[in-house]
Structure 1
Amino acid sequence: MERQRAVLQQDINGIDPEMVLVFEVVGSVNNFIKAAQRVGMEWLGDIDSLAEPDDNFYNIDNQGNRTEKPVNEKLYLTLTNSVALQQLLSLWQRYIRGEQKFPTGFAPFKDVFSQLKDIRRWDVRDRFIATNVIDIWRELLQSRPEKIRFEIELWFRPTSQKRTDAEDIVRNIITEYGGEIIKSSIHEEIAYHGLIAECPAIMIQQMIDNMDDALINAEQIMWIRASGQVCTKSTIEDAAEVELNLPEEPLASPSIALLDGLPLANHVLLQDRLVINDADNYEDLYPADRRFHGTTMASLIIYGDLNTPPEPLKERIYVRPIMKPINPEDEGIPDDELFVDVLHRAIREIVTSPELSSSIRIINLSIGNPNRPFFNTLSPEAKMLDWLSQQYNLLFLVSSGNVNQRFYLDIKIGELKNLSNEDRQKVLYDYIWRESHNMRILSPSESINAVTIGALHQDSVNPPRISGTINPVLDGYPALYSCYGGGFDRSIKPDCLNVGGKNLYSHYNIDSMEAVLTAVRLRNSSGPGTKVAISNNGLNGVAFTCGTSNATAISSRACSNLLKMVRNIPNLNLPSDYEAIAIKAMFIHSCKWGEMGNNMMEHYVPQVVRKQRSNTLKMIGYGYPDPNHTLVCTDQRVTLIGYGNIRQNQQIEFSFPLPPSLVSQAVKKRLIITLAWFSPINPNGKNYRLAKLSFDAINQNVITKSRTDSDTNTSKHGTVQHEIFEGEHASVFEDGDELKILIQCKKEEDLLVPVKFVTLVTLETAPETMLPIYEEVQTRIRPQIQIAQ
């Protein structure tokens, strides 16, 4: 440690270097925080992870027996001056030697150390190897570039002088390599300090070969990552033309902002329906036939799947191009831009425009970073979405990401083809669960305030029977290309699935060969897939595509209709700064597992005892949305909506009048309760999600007893709680009784502002019961709570 101090002092002109330590902690560490502060440490954050049990650390069951389930582990990252560092390491050495006496004031460390696996410096394993940048660089080096650009994320320091000092150190190292810093970015609101650097390829190769380099050993650096990697594929094999006779009518102001590539604005399906803000002047860099992704997303938002009779939105959509062509096939964020800057700039343009800020509530972000799958650590882009959504009351819908990997199955082609559809589906889902580390959701879809959308293998086309291809799973089940796996702090991600389009998989048509399946990327004019406008067949071309991007665009379209619905609820008088939260609540309120979700839980996720439900949530979230069913009231279905704000350590009670016609009626009933909010964040602390809201249905047992589709504990880890209860037992209550719903906000002293929330409750019975529950609730409703028509 002292040797490295000397080297750094020599290189940094006398600046006292500060070092990061990694504490590999198992179990509760609240005492650790206090003890660390006592020796002068500066808290930087923590990373949740799981460790396999060993002889020293393992969980026990209620009978005290060891279990083999993973152990909760946290790497606590602490920045310390050299004196505090030496004190701590000295204490750690005493502990592992078995010494019992510690200096006065440091006794709490003995209890803390009993929970530690190791103390080590943040090193090349963390900042360089763990980010997958080495594999990306090796691929780039094969084309023999002169220079390579990459991103550096520095430890965020609390003062501008410390940030300047840290950046100067890294800048000097890069300059000595013959490189330069292209861009520097600081966002205090998310505790982010990032750089775009460029170095000669020979120095990149040297870093990979030696794994011992001034840059990758620089204590100021948290991560080194590849840059310019947020991109989409854009290949179409064949296309058709479309003719639509749509009535001309005035279009309303946009409620949706599409952050994507530049669309083909004069396409016959898009003409006069877009408000394009090309703030970065990408049009000259975007040949018309390359405007693929923005064109398809705009088409899906406006029309949905063109396979079905189109009902276009009666409003324009706002388009902010944030991508441009980066090679003959791909569109992406330019490598001289940081994605976090692009997002911040694009949203600031909206919220500072009086016209746009008054109308736009929904942000469609159908792009993700394939080189940044989510593994416990929130990306700066996700933090930026969380901050922007809460700061400006905007709902982000983000695609979970696509995976186009090959499937290497332990079965012969002939055997696979002879399986039933259900058995073949079981083989394929078993495979992607074994490969789950390659299927994780992509940044920035781990955002806690955003709604993350995965894809269903579903569209309106019957796939053609083509030799050498298979239709892999049943219609309406999770698409094999859709990323999944859960979100930050065990939250539910993706939040739900929507129509993404079917994708066929090709294979060598030799029955004796091992089954290797490859996604068919090229599309033809007959499908399958969702039918969309495209940019490479003149001004009226259409084709078939699939992806989580498609599912996200279709979801944004649905959310626009929900915004119109909530604005038209009589006497609700919802303030504009609640509208984005209301859309979020309504959209998730309409989600359900249905037969697909129950089959997934019973047959197609790992059948680990007591984990079938949580495994299903990791794959399909709350299921698929059906707003036209859940949010449309009938004689046998009634939905109430409420809103308000709540402070930390506060409780608010809502009441739902119970319809007397249900008394003693043994009929099937469904109760759906949803609570949504946007949480402020603490970007650099232990409690990132400051607003921890939840509801409890105090006496829901009088209506229904069985919880379906979700899990109470898991659903409380995000910023939307959605639960469905069903039952057929006779309801026992008296006329005039009410269902009590208690909304509470957990105590959190750092939560200094009230949190806006929206809650919805739906009660329904089967139509054949003919029970007039809507009318009965309507006549009993309190004046301040209105019925959602």
Structure 2
Amino acid sequence: MPPDHQFEHLPLVFKHHGPARLTGGGSDADLTKEFRRNRKSHSTTLLSSLTAASDAWRKTQVARREQDAPEVEAGIPLVLQVDTSLDLDDLRRQFAFEVVAEEEDGYVIVASEDVDLALFRQKVKDFAGGGTGSGNIAKVHELLDSDTQEDRLRRVLSERLFAEWPEMQDDALYICDVGIACTGNWAAPNPFKPRAHWKAETNQRHEEKNRAEVQAAYDRWDELREDRRAEVKRITDHYGAEVLGEYEKAVPVPDSFTLRVRIAARGLKDLVLSYPYVFEVTEPDEIETPQQQARDLEDQLAEIEFQAPAPDAPVVCVIDSGIQEEHRWLAAAVDGSVSKSFLPAPDADSVADHVAGGGHGTRVAGAVLYGRTIPKSGVVPLEARLQNARVLNGRCEMPREMFPPEVLEQVVEHFHRVGNTRLFNQSVNADSPCRTTHMSAWAAEIDRLSHENDILVVQSTGNLKTDRPAPRPGVAQLLETGRPYPDYLDQPACRLANPAQSLQAMTVGSVAIETLEQDGWRSIATASGAPSAFGRSGPGIWGVIKPEVVEQGGDFLVSDGAPPAVATPDVGANCYTELVRSTRNGGPAHARDCVGTSFAAPQVARIAARLQAVLPEEPCLLYRALIAQSARWPAWANGLSPAEQAALLRRIGYGIPDLDRATTNTDQRVTLITSGKTKLEAGGCHIYQVPVPERLRRPGEDHQIRIDVTLSYSTATRRTRRKHAYQATWLDWVTNRRDELLEPFVERAIKREAEYANQGRETFNWTVHPQVQYGLSGANRSAGTLQKDWAYINSYNLPRDFCIAVRGHQGWNTSPDSSAAYTLAVTFEATGGELSVYEEVRAEVLELIVQAEQEVEISD
């Protein structure tokens, strides 16, 4: 008798919601304790530093007036080193400082409207005598003062600009992205919550007062933002600068805005040194292009017929160099009616792919449709539609007058807000490693757009060149310096490229297809599924696991010569990705002649499109979760040491995703999912239950079960903050122990008046692990917004119920209404292929759902 199902994903059963029992919070640093013991000494040091900083600032302003520089009515910038356990909002509440930017290692850039720093000065004096309300002075470890503002410049400027700063010629022109903070030194009051014992009119009066106070705070932020725009414009206009673009989050209270300006060095220096709210200055990213190899081959016609996708088929927007829309392998899928070029003249009217040697966007579009293998004959039904957003010119470059976050917002506006496109592939990166202090404007825009619009951006990690001098060495130079493959991929120069560090992007790296040694050439990768020689690696910003997944993007070959050459010669064709290629300038319609992470990413976008076809009403957060959930390391990785596996996690993330595993189940595999976006507030906890059938737990049975759990969430962000403080609310997940029942786990996970009985000692052997001291060295499961882990367990050791708690934590937003939206996926798979899992779990889940519905009816 056939089953009464299609092996669809099963629902996760929600069991409890309550306040999370959270531990930790950070203890005071040893230096803080030392300063509490020696208050007078610490106060004397701080008073000396703040007096020196205030005096230096006054002298600077006098000198500016003598030089006829534009008037700046802003205040004084300061660099503080603070205890990392300090709530940065205390700097605002207690000292009236505006937090301009949170930096690494406990450093914070702040600004004070009062150049004399009277309030802070008084608190420092009070601390010496043990005065009330001055205790946090002990957590202000140092105030860095300098006539040249070197400590501030070191943190505000990019590495290159900081190195060039002393030698900049006044009239030299620079194009820079300048970030301006606008958080202010106030906060909106928390929403009013009615009191049960108050009269209705009293509650209403307080609620109206609260709304007025909240609105007043928002009005102040609007005014502050416009004032700072005007102040910056006054400075840039004075020096004849040109504003090329502007990025600002379209949220009620943006914490910053970023300007791309063309400005003389004299003006740039004055802007940075005199305007205290500048928190970041970087040069525009150069867009990297993958290694291109033109082939003089004739186009071979195939006996093939393409069936156009259904009108309601999923849509993938390709953000790239344009598409050869009339290409035989693409034409039936391209929606040319909405194609758009976002380039300035003379490319504004052309959406074609003008990149020589076979194109770039055309290749990417083909990979979205066909994945690893291009069909050669027969009837080919197309499952997705393609949209064409041209942002790169014929040199595969984005002109500098185009500001990437602004362009991305325009792309989403055109394709999503008008046509409701939800899937975007962006195989476009900077050609250098991303910075790790603050989220870039480009990456932050991906985070914002993803959170607000329920879209998924599939993003490549970027590539290393075959040959390039330091400080951004190519693969040849890395090998010449004695760094063997794959260890050189862990060098900072090989870190993933902007905007691949975005928390919400599905970041995709590349792995090798196969190995080869022939005619004096050999592949650099040592195994199929090993990291590609050119693939940039993680971790991402703040230790986030990036890339999350990888696909086959090919590999470089190295010659036997001395010195060895690194290239993609014809002999290595089987090591290169098979791709559709543009025929505008001749050549074949498809070939194995190009490699790059650019062509790994669209293979993952293809899986996302299939997920949208299978689960059209579900959020993109779930597509992202299921892609990661389906990913696996190559089989050879199981034999690696823990240190080698930790390195592999940095290079290929969770592994290679699988379309079938992401979209369906088998008799030996079952995946359970939440439906829709579930919101969880900071301090809250949601608990889910997966019943484990007795037959799977039967003593004497010895089957290996792999358990995968993936949490995917999004929340509002602030670019001036770092790590978890970048997010309004951040989430993590924990599970019950192997010998812990549901109710004891609920007591342990949810905060209640009674102390819980600490039952259960046998934990799951998670690979990454929620605690950094366990699991793979250096890996931090909860650092990002896509959190996956997996464990192997003998079937007879499975618990009666497998339980997961999703927990909310406070980020930058202190409002009790702050929340994050999430999806969750859990998979059980019998790795030996002998144990029936799906039918057994499905029966138990359906029974549990009925019980839950009956419990609701009784409670009602």
TM-score normalised by the chain length of structure 2:
0.72
Deviation at 1:402, TM superposition (A): 1.3
Residue 191 (structure 1) aligned with residue 255 (structure 2):
yes
Letter paired with 2:801: E
In the aligned structure 2, how far is the partner of 1:408 from the partner of 1:85? 54
Please state whether the residue corresponding to 1:777 is helix, strand or coil.
Answer: helix
- Aligned pair partner of 1:584 in 610, 621, 624: 624
Q: 1:318 to 1:217 in 2, by over 3 A?
A: same
Q: Contact 1:403–1:481 (CA<8 Å) still a contact in 2?
A: yes
In the aligned structure 1, how far is the partner of 2:808 from the partner of 2:480? 55
Deviation at 1:346, TM superposition (A): 0.9
In the aligned structure 2, how far is the partner of 1:595 from the partner of 1:135? 48
Letter paired with 1:112: K
Q: 1:458 to 1:167 in 2, by over 3 A?
A: same
Q: 1:645 maps to which residue?
A: 678
Please state whether the residue corresponding to 2:59 is helix, strand or coil.
Answer: helix
Letter paired with 1:742: A
Deviation at 1:106, TM superposition (A): 6.2
Deviation at 1:112, TM superposition (A): 1.4
In the aligned structure 2, how far is the partner of 1:699 from the partner of 1:477? 34
Q: 2:520 maps to which residue?
A: 467
Residue 293 (structure 1) aligned with residue 340 (structure 2):
no
Please state whether the residue corresponding to 1:376 is helix, strand or coil.
Answer: coil
Residue 541 (structure 1) aligned with residue 568 (structure 2):
no
Please state whether the residue corresponding to 1:680 is helix, strand or coil.
Answer: coil
In the aligned structure 2, how far is the partner of 1:412 from the partner of 1:745? 48
Deviation at 1:520, TM superposition (A): 1.6
Q: 1:362 maps to which residue?
A: 423
In the aligned structure 1, how far is the partner of 2:521 from the partner of 2:837? 55
Q: 1:595 maps to which residue?
A: 635
1:115-514 to 2 correspondences below 5 Å = 115-116=141-142, 118=144, 121=149, 123-130=152-159, 132=161, 149-156=175-182, 159-189=221-251, 190-199=254-263, 203-204=264-265, 213-219=269-275, 220-227=277-284, 229-233=286-290, 235-240=292-297, 241-252=299-310, 253-276=313-336, 277-280=339-342, 282=347, 284=349, 289-290=354-355, 292-306=359-373, 313-325=382-394, 330-353=395-418, 356-357=419-420, 360-371=421-432, 373-404=434-465, 405-407=473-475, 427-433=484-490, 436-458=491-513, 463=516, 465-467=518-520, 470-506=523-559, 509-510=561-562
Q: Contact 1:234–1:331 (CA<8 Å) still a contact in 2?
A: no
Query: Bigger shift: 77-86 or 439-448?
Result: 77-86
Deviation at 1:494, TM superposition (A): 1.3
Deviation at 1:388, TM superposition (A): 0.9
Letter paired with 2:303: N
- Aligned pair partner of 1:765 in 830, 833, 836: 830
Unmatched runs of 5 consecutive residues or more in structure 2: 1-56, 185-220, 466-472, 742-761, 772-779, 851-860
Deviation at 1:590, TM superposition (A): 0.6
Task: Report % sequence identity.
Answer: 17
Q: 2:95 maps to which residue?
A: 39
In the aligned structure 1, how far is the partner of 2:287 from the partner of 2:559? 27
Q: Contact 1:705–1:725 (CA<8 Å) still a contact in 2?
A: no
In the aligned structure 2, how far is the partner of 1:447 from the partner of 1:126? 21
Deviation at 1:46, TM superposition (A): 1.0
Letter paired with 1:6: V
Letter paired with 1:29: L
| Superposed CA offset, 1:13-56 (max 9, x none) | 654232322223354223x6425532221123312x3xxxxxxx
Letter paired with 1:778: R
Query: Bigger shift: 479-488 or 683-692?
Result: 683-692
Letter paired with 2:524: N
Q: Contact 1:136–1:226 (CA<8 Å) still a contact in 2?
A: no
Residue 17 (structure 1) aligned with residue 17 (structure 2):
no
Deviation at 1:534, TM superposition (A): 2.1
Letter paired with 1:406: G
Deviation at 1:782, TM superposition (A): 2.8
Q: 2:788 maps to which residue?
A: 722
Q: Contact 1:454–1:498 (CA<8 Å) still a contact in 2?
A: yes
Please state whether the residue corresponding to 1:556 is helix, strand or coil.
Answer: helix
Query: Bigger shift: 303-312 or 474-483?
Result: 303-312
Please state whether the residue corresponding to 1:428 is helix, strand or coil.
Answer: coil
In the aligned structure 2, how far is the partner of 1:172 from the partner of 1:702? 65
The CA RMSD measured in Å over matched residues stands at: 3.8
- Aligned pair partner of 1:697 in 720, 729, 735: 735
In the aligned structure 1, how far is the partner of 2:317 from the partner of 2:545? 25
- Aligned pair partner of 1:780 in 841, 844, 852: 844
| Superposed CA offset, 1:560-591 (max 9, x none) | 11222334xxxxxxxx3x33122111111111
Deviation at 1:732, TM superposition (A): 6.7
Deviation at 1:409, TM superposition (A): 7.7
Q: Contact 2:438–2:721 (CA<8 Å) still a contact in 1?
A: no
In the aligned structure 2, how far is the partner of 1:428 from the partner of 1:471? 7
| Superposed CA offset, 1:659-709 (max 9, x none) | 222211222222222222222324445622233223322244589965354
Deviation at 1:739, TM superposition (A): 2.4
Letter paired with 1:403: L
In the aligned structure 1, how far is the partner of 2:631 from the partner of 2:327? 34
In the aligned structure 2, how far is the partner of 1:408 from the partner of 1:90? 59
Letter paired with 1:583: Y
Q: 2:693 maps to which residue?
A: 659
Q: Contact 1:262–1:283 (CA<8 Å) still a contact in 2?
A: no
In the aligned structure 2, how far is the partner of 1:732 from the partner of 1:226? 54
Residue 77 (structure 1) aligned with residue 109 (structure 2):
yes
In the aligned structure 2, how far is the partner of 1:616 from the partner of 1:757? 27
In the aligned structure 1, how far is the partner of 2:323 from the partner of 2:847? 47
| Superposed CA offset, 1:643-666 (max 9, x none) | 352331332222222122221122
| Superposed CA offset, 1:539-572 (max 9, x none) | 85333211111111111011111222334xxxxx
Deviation at 1:477, TM superposition (A): 0.6
Q: 1:108 maps to which residue?
A: 135
Q: 1:389 to 1:406 in 2, by over 3 A?
A: closer
Q: Contact 2:434–2:496 (CA<8 Å) still a contact in 1?
A: yes
Q: 1:361 to 1:174 in 2, by over 3 A?
A: closer
In the aligned structure 1, how far is the partner of 2:586 from the partner of 2:544? 44
Q: Contact 1:133–1:226 (CA<8 Å) still a contact in 2?
A: no
Q: Contact 1:617–1:710 (CA<8 Å) still a contact in 2?
A: no
Q: Contact 2:321–2:392 (CA<8 Å) still a contact in 1?
A: yes
In the aligned structure 2, how far is the partner of 1:779 from the partner of 1:188? 47
Q: 2:576 maps to which residue?
A: 529
Deviation at 1:76, TM superposition (A): 1.2
Unmatched runs of 5 consecutive residues or more in structure 1: 50-72, 417-425, 511-515, 568-575, 606-611
In the aligned structure 1, how far is the partner of 2:409 from the partner of 2:258? 14
| Larger RCO, structure (CA 8 Å, separation 6 or more) | 2
Which has a greater percent of strand? 1
